[in-house]
Structure 1
Amino acid sequence: MAGISRRHLLGGMAAGLAAGYGLPAAANAPARSLVPPARGGGPAVRALGPAAVPAEDLIEAAKLGGEVGYVVADARTGLVLEARQGNRPMPPASTLKVITSLYALEHLGAGYRFPTRLIATGPVAGGKVQGDLILAGGGDPTLSTDDLGDMAAALKSRGITGVTGRFRVWGGALPHLEAIDESQPEWLGYNPAVSGLNLNFNRVNFVWKRAGKGYEVGMDARAERFAPPVYSARVSLAERDLPVFSYRRGKVEEWTVATKALGKGGSRWLPVRRPELYAGDVFQTLARAQGIPLPAPEVAAAVPAGAVLVERASAELPVILRDMMKFSTNMTAEAVGMAASARRGVASHVGSAREMAAWLGKRTGAKARFADHSGLAGASRISPEEMVRALVALGPRSGIRALMKEFAFRDEAGRKLKQSPVTVEAKTGTLNFVSTLVGYVRAPEGTDLAFAIFTGDVARRDSIPDSQKENAPGVGAWVKRSKRLQQQLIERWAAVYGA
């Protein structure tokens, strides 16, 4: 079924204002230089020009409901130029990944690489490992089936033909997380498990196509070069209307899908809840293709001592973070955030999110509350003022601006403009009835601005039933209006403060 179309492996929920051109990081600025806005988002620190469209008019025209808060400041000095509800804590959505990136860069370092190893617990004799073979994860959030295929080939190149003991998998480098946000529907591919051994962003590819009067279905671990079948998860059809998907966790992850929901054919990524066994399952198939038969994988409680036969290192951390920002991959954010907290002695997901908030408070004075590292959980809160303070105080030294997505402005019809006098590097965030944007602006005269725009109708978001959370009615139009407002505010700031 290799010819069936699929969604891109790195596809995410991010969408945004538009792309720019990449600028050097701003100069260092004091950590506490921001001028606090007046309570309730009072008057701007600097008077508006007469030609500027009042921000309140733009906000009223957007008809978003809920709350709209923003802060824009001089990126070099931190001087607040304008604020509205700037000190109001709001859900950051995926813009929380900016804080997670700052946190990871400070604690892991820009040169950090996540290792994945094949370890032998005994010597090699006659081509066979005299003992167990361990696939040991180091927390790499980007490990793919192709990477495991290369590791299997490297094992063969060392003359390995088998093992006398067990084949075990270890994911204890990071705390295991069953799902990033347990309040989300269980079938959402952007809400998988996280552990120290991850594969394909802990998603399995469900494929289906017409076969006579029914369907042929299956699951694979598709990447660019390899697409092995998966045995640690399986899917069957159910004659029902709803729910479209059901899940049962057991020795094998069991999915059922409503036949009436399928068309002629297609594919969809579903989340994996037992990532270590998933990775072991896939590696066993790839090793067998190299002439190395292995027993069924077993989970190791601890990584045993032994000789490293093969080691694969991830890309350096900034490359991982740049892709995370571009595609807004939640699993990457959780893995790098927990890896950073592990350096601080924290060994749980909840504890890691709290530790990241405490670290931000010590570095910038923020009183943020984080429920995760990706922004998927709607319970996280940070104010626009606190976000801008982080951009000004911590951004330049970390080089975070160069990791943000480059955007281009759009015209009234939604078409990308080929040229714009204003350049923007930013990170978007989108949840149901929450749309956020934070980053940097360079205005025509060279003025550098740092900004955060948070829009959210939390009450409307909370009222959505589970069956509608994936495609909630009205969300698309609401997000479109929010993003239009975000662009209008940036254009306004460039005109007023760019001189």
Structure 2
Amino acid sequence: MRADRLHRIEKTWIRSLVRRRALRSYGEMTQRISRRFFLGGVAASVGLGPALADAPLVSLRPQLRPRQKPVPGAQKLIADAGLPGMVAFAVADVKSGVGLESINAGAGLPPASVAKALTALYALDTLGADHRFETRVFAEGPVENGILQGDLVLAGGADPTLDTEGLARLAANLKAAGVREVRGAFKVYDGVLPRIHSIDPGQPDHLGYSPAISGIALNFNRVHFEWKRGTSGYSVTMDARTANYRPQVAMSRMTVVSRRMPVYTYEPAPGMDRWTVASGALGGGGARWLPVRKPALYAGDVFQTLARSQGIVLDKVQVVQTAPTGRVLARHASAPLRDIVRGMLKYSTNLTAEMVGMAASSGRIGTPASLAESAAEMCRWATDAYGMSSTLLVDHSGLGDASRMAPRDLVGALVQVRRAGILRPLLKPFAMPDASGRLVKAGPVAVAAKTGTLNFVSGLGGFVTASDGTELAFAIFTADMERRSRLKRSQRERPEGARAWNGQSRGLQRKLIERWAKVYAKGHKA
């Protein structure tokens, strides 16, 4: 009772202070009324004495800790997203390997570019992280007094990163080797990989992310098309530009045609890629990269120009598939494979995925006849190495929508490779929302993952580290295959509704990751 009485006295006194408007500050108040005097008086009046000598001015009450906001379940997140099509995911604890949560985990859906994560593992395991691809220049005949009495061969070595800068160094090294003149033919060898017209023939001809493939590639098998409108019409250029070079390309030709649609047409012709573009779509000027359909001719065309700048004139390009047997005059080595696949995963370059994937298959079974055959060999390897028995791919890049991968398969592989420390250092950070909703790559929840996007198909697979250090492996695939199947070939560049659908899918992926980072963190309490 005495404590209750003390509490009432305290409240009455505090209210009286609030009413005293003349006290302008707490400092004035402490000058007029001695806290020690007040507390001593109150204590004496109730007989407590020194027991409250250090008591606060306001009595203490139990403070309720804020309750943790309930974390929505996965089914609710999926329902709230309202995403048409199928959602499939799996998540597991990396340390224990225990599966934590899944929906449709055994369902095979198109992985899109998430397939590149598997391709990276396949190439690294087969070829080795230090493997380098070599492009070489051969002399098939003797060099006498600076004159090659025979053929010169530019030999591709399946390097997906060869660019105009690399070819320029080869041309300079050819001159440094003492060659001033070539009396024989000029050949380009592309036989280390099969010739493939387009990674995915279902894509429109003009899309640069589905170029041709062969044993030699240049500038990711893309040519730079630029146009400018003048008083007498449009001027166009086709070149193989890089930072320091801009050689014109003769084997890829563009004609401006008076029409509105279609924007581009492509027609193969002897010794060249022949394009037309609609004048009604060009405006005042612009540029874009177009795919190359004859990679060996393209590389040969550009090398001719670069050799000419060194004073070496070469004959017309001949493309061959018979490996050269002469003496190597110059060579260009790529970066180590680990760096190549890191760039592939960061920029999601389809050509790199297909070339390193087929190069790996060549090391296992010999030169594959097609992308599908090479991808099938990779799937056999994945089944043996990681138990991915429900994964069936038609290529190494994920561009073909006939590929299927089960989230459970990928998560099982991710757990194993994370323990070996192989893949996560090569994956790029995946942005997550911070407290204000902004997407940031460095936050309390760290995600390293490979994204994948096709029209009405989205994938994400990788690793998430919660704020307490708990590490999870996950895979999320979403697809509206019915809507995708209705797309015509001409609609596949920017179909109506695809951007919004893929944005919804990305939002769902982030919410699922946020859920897992909270629910499966060791300190979380439901």
Query: Normalising by structure 1, what TM-score?
Result: 0.88
Change over 3 Å in CA distance of 1:386–1:120 after alignment to 2: same
Structure 2 match to 1:305: 325
Separation in 1, partners of 2:287, 2:479:
32
How much does 1:99 deviate? 0.6
Question: 204-213 or 66-75, which moves further after superposition?
Answer: 204-213
- Aligned match for 1:120, one of 123, 135, 139: 139
How much does 1:412 deviate? 9.2
Change over 3 Å in CA distance of 1:428–1:412 after alignment to 2: farther
Q: Does the 8 A contact of 2:253 with 2:273 survive in 1?
A: yes
Structure 1 match to 2:377: 355
Structure 1 match to 2:200: 181
How much does 1:413 deviate? 8.5
Separation in 1, partners of 2:98, 2:435:
32
Please tell me whether residue 52 in structure 1 is matched to residue 74 in structure 2: no
Separation in 1, partners of 2:232, 2:436:
43
Structure 2 match to 1:406: 429
**DSSP-derived class of the 1:495 partner:** helix
Q: Does the 8 A contact of 2:94 with 2:419 survive in 1?
A: no
Q: Which amino acid aligns with 1:492?
A: R
Question: 322-331 or 49-58, which moves further after superposition?
Answer: 49-58
Q: Which amino acid aligns with 2:307?
A: A
- Aligned match for 1:73, one of 57, 72, 92: 92
**DSSP-derived class of the 2:269 partner:** coil
Change over 3 Å in CA distance of 1:438–1:223 after alignment to 2: same
Q: Which amino acid aligns with 2:456?
A: F
Q: Encode CA deviations 1:149-208: one digit per residue, 9 max, x unaligned.
A: 111111122221120101100011111111101111111100001111100111111110
Structure 2 match to 1:273: 293
- Aligned match for 2:502, one of 479, 482, 491: 479
How much does 1:411 deviate? 5.3
Q: Does the 8 A contact of 1:107 with 1:340 survive in 2?
A: yes
Question: 394-403 or 133-142, which moves further after superposition?
Answer: 394-403
- Aligned match for 1:250, one of 239, 254, 269: 269
Structure 2 match to 1:440: 463
- Aligned match for 2:438, one of 389, 411, 415: 415
Question: 341-350 or 166-175, which moves further after superposition?
Answer: 341-350
Please tell me whether residue 424 in structure 1 is matched to residue 454 in structure 2: no
Gaps of 5+ in 2: 1-67
Q: Which amino acid aligns with 2:372?
A: V
Q: Does the 8 A contact of 2:430 with 2:441 survive in 1?
A: no
Q: Which amino acid aligns with 2:70?
A: A
Separation in 1, partners of 2:521, 2:131:
38
- Aligned match for 1:234, one of 242, 253, 256: 253
Q: Encode CA deviations 1:131-166: one digit per residue, 9 max, x unaligned.
A: 111000000000001110111111122221120101
How much does 1:51 deviate? 2.1
**DSSP-derived class of the 2:493 partner:** coil
- Matches of residues 196-345 of structure 1 in structure 2 within 5 Å? 196-251=215-270, 252-345=272-365
- Aligned match for 2:173, one of 154, 157, 160: 154
Question: 367-376 or 459-468, which moves further after superposition?
Answer: 459-468
Question: 107-116 or 50-59, which moves further after superposition?
Answer: 50-59
Separation in 1, partners of 2:440, 2:331:
45
Separation in 2, partners of 1:419, 1:355:
38
How much does 1:359 deviate? 1.2
Separation in 1, partners of 2:419, 2:287:
42
Q: Encode CA deviations 1:230-250: one digit per residue, 9 max, x unaligned.
A: 001100011122211111111
Structure 1 match to 2:36: none
Separation in 1, partners of 2:70, 2:502:
28
Separation in 1, partners of 2:518, 2:361:
41
Q: Encode CA deviations 1:392-443: one digit per residue, 9 max, x unaligned.
A: 1234436111111112323599733375111111000000011110000111
**DSSP-derived class of the 1:394 partner:** helix
Between the two proteins, what is the percent identity of the paired residues?
Answer: 51
Question: 308-317 or 209-218, which moves further after superposition?
Answer: 209-218
RMSD of the TM alignment (CA)?
A: 1.5
**DSSP-derived class of the 1:291 partner:** coil
Separation in 2, partners of 1:81, 1:447:
13
How much does 1:301 deviate? 2.7
**DSSP-derived class of the 2:397 partner:** coil
Please tell me whether residue 497 in structure 1 is matched to residue 525 in structure 2: no
Separation in 1, partners of 2:311, 2:103:
64
Q: Does the 8 A contact of 1:105 with 1:398 survive in 2?
A: no
Question: 170-179 or 340-349, which moves further after superposition?
Answer: 340-349
Gaps of 5+ in 1: 1-48
**DSSP-derived class of the 2:241 partner:** coil
- Aligned match for 2:160, one of 135, 138, 141: 141
Q: Which amino acid aligns with 2:155?
A: A
Question: 392-401 or 207-216, which moves further after superposition?
Answer: 392-401
Q: Does the 8 A contact of 1:276 with 1:299 survive in 2?
A: yes
Q: Encode CA deviations 1:15-71: one digit per residue, 9 max, x unaligned.
A: xxxxxxxxxxxxxxxxxxxxxxxxxxxxxxxxxx98211112211121211001110
Separation in 2, partners of 1:498, 1:470:
41
Separation in 2, partners of 1:423, 1:211:
52
Question: 332-341 or 77-86, which moves further after superposition?
Answer: 77-86
**DSSP-derived class of the 1:344 partner:** helix
Structure 2 match to 1:28: none
Structure 1 match to 2:474: 451
Q: Which amino acid aligns with 1:451?
A: F
Separation in 1, partners of 2:441, 2:471:
22
Q: Does the 8 A contact of 1:67 with 1:456 survive in 2?
A: yes
**DSSP-derived class of the 1:399 partner:** coil
Structure 2 match to 1:11: none
Q: Does the 8 A contact of 2:434 with 2:443 survive in 1?
A: no
Count of aligned pairs between the two proteins: 451
Q: Which is greater in Rg?
A: 2
Separation in 1, partners of 2:253, 2:431:
42
- Aligned match for 1:64, one of 83, 90, 102: 83
**DSSP-derived class of the 1:83 partner:** strand
Separation in 2, partners of 1:180, 1:272:
12
